[in-house]
Amino acid sequence: MRIRLTLSAGLVACALAAGAPALAGNPSDPGPDRSPDGPRKLHPKHTSGGEPGVIAAPRTSASFRTTTTDRVSWRVAPGVQYTRWSQTDARGPIVAHLLTVDPSTPGLKIDYASMGAVRRVAPVRDILATDGAVAGVNGDFYDIGHTGAPLGLGKDRQRGLLHARQDGWNNAFFINRNGRAGIDDLPMTAKVLYHPQVHVTNLNSSFVTPGGLGIYTPRFGRTAGYAVTQGQTERVRQVMVRDGRVVSNRARLANDAVIPGMMLVGRGDNAALLRKQFPTGTRVKVQWSLRGRPQMAISGNRFLVHDGIIRAVDDRELHPRTAIGVDADTGEVLILVVDGRSSRSRGYTMVELANLMIDLGADEAINLDGGGSSTMVGRNRKGRTAVLNTPSDGFQRWVANAVAIEYHKP
């Protein structure tokens, strides 16, 4: 049973800087800041976290009276339905876009998608094309203006766990080992074999937790220097590993360099442990996994609905929004984008977003990156891949990852 109850637990908004991500991946790749078409303003001032949005009008009884018009719908692929509608209440109009997905459909898969290197950003349409997806949306919040890496976790069906944190950003959508969709907190467990006192906190993360230890692999892309220590230059340590053995151990962090096998970055006490216990030649082997070992997973910044209860508390700031939810009764996945920052669509507050997800049937839902990042791509009525919503920047923002819906006829 779904309960309309708003909890007042404190929630911490992510602080995202404006500006374009640093170049990531192979330097021969033009990258986000060096596109073949020349420089572009990839990240305007507004984001869905860290920048103030328009403040919504106070709630009145009239705010809850809505009219819905212009509903259109079509089948994108077997098991995937797209629906668009306009909705108006006392606060103004919105345009909503919904993908309803049945994961049990033969030949249908929901997966994590990216451009390869964790740090590499691209438009959602390009990211989805790498997986041959029939539809999808933008995914996790990411480190705009610095590493470009996602802030949370990402697991791909084929490539495995690509990036994660022990805690702090693990509210995630996932497909479990039995093929069912779910939403829950998915902490990472990682350890350095033969060195139990070393505490691993991050895998290919945008930054290493203060006092923690980060593991970086070639999948991260090129090294990001002191961006991964949030500018901290004292009491930091970098250990490079190749073929399972330490090849260098130093106090300076490499920038824009290839990771030959594995890189360990320590801050604070973990930096001291790396200095003492990992001399050149030391054998190093690291293991990591997510709780429950899901087939795929991608994180958002917070729960909108959890156990059928509304967890969102912000009913003030309006932004374009992206959300993903699961109907526990049917097993369907509900992927929603609400346009914003225009006269046609004002955007939604977090509470409004949670309410709509419940109205659509979600028992669990999380908030994905929004603002200018909110982008839904899918096959249109003519069967051509297109951007189905109206991104608020006026073009597709370059983002770190996406939720991909793939279909291959059985």
pLDDT digits (tens, 9 = 90+) for 366-385: 999 999 999 999 999 999 99
pLDDT at 7: 42
pLDDT at 66: 86
Query: Which sequence spans correspond to the domains of the chain?
Result: 54-184+294-407, 188-290
> What contacts 389, CB < 8 A, 6 or more positions away?
95, 97, 337, 339, 374, 375, 376
34 or 406, which is more confident:
406
pLDDT digits (tens, 9 = 90+) for 311-346: 999 999 999 999 999 999 999 999 999 999 999 999
| Paired tokens of 37 | 């078409």
Query: Residue 60 — very low, low, confident or very high, per pLDDT cuts 50/70/90?
Result: confident
pLDDT at 58: 85
pLDDT at 48: 43
pLDDT at 41: 40
Distance, CA of 131 to CA of 196 (rounded, Å): 38
Query: Residue 11 — very low, low, confident or very high, per pLDDT cuts 50/70/90?
Result: very low
Cα 377–Cα 375–Cα 15 angle in degrees, nearest 5: 150
- Dihedral pair phi/psi, residue 358, rounded to 5°: -65, -45
Q: Say yes or no to pLDDT of 24 above 60.
A: no
pLDDT digits (tens, 9 = 90+) for 352-364: 999 999 999 999 9
pLDDT at 44: 41
Q: Say yes or no to pLDDT of 19 above 60.
A: no
* Predicted structure pTM score: 0.88
> What contacts 27, CB < 8 A, 6 or more positions away?
222, 256
pLDDT digits (tens, 9 = 90+) for 270-311: 999 999 999 999 999 999 999 999 999 999 999 999 999 999
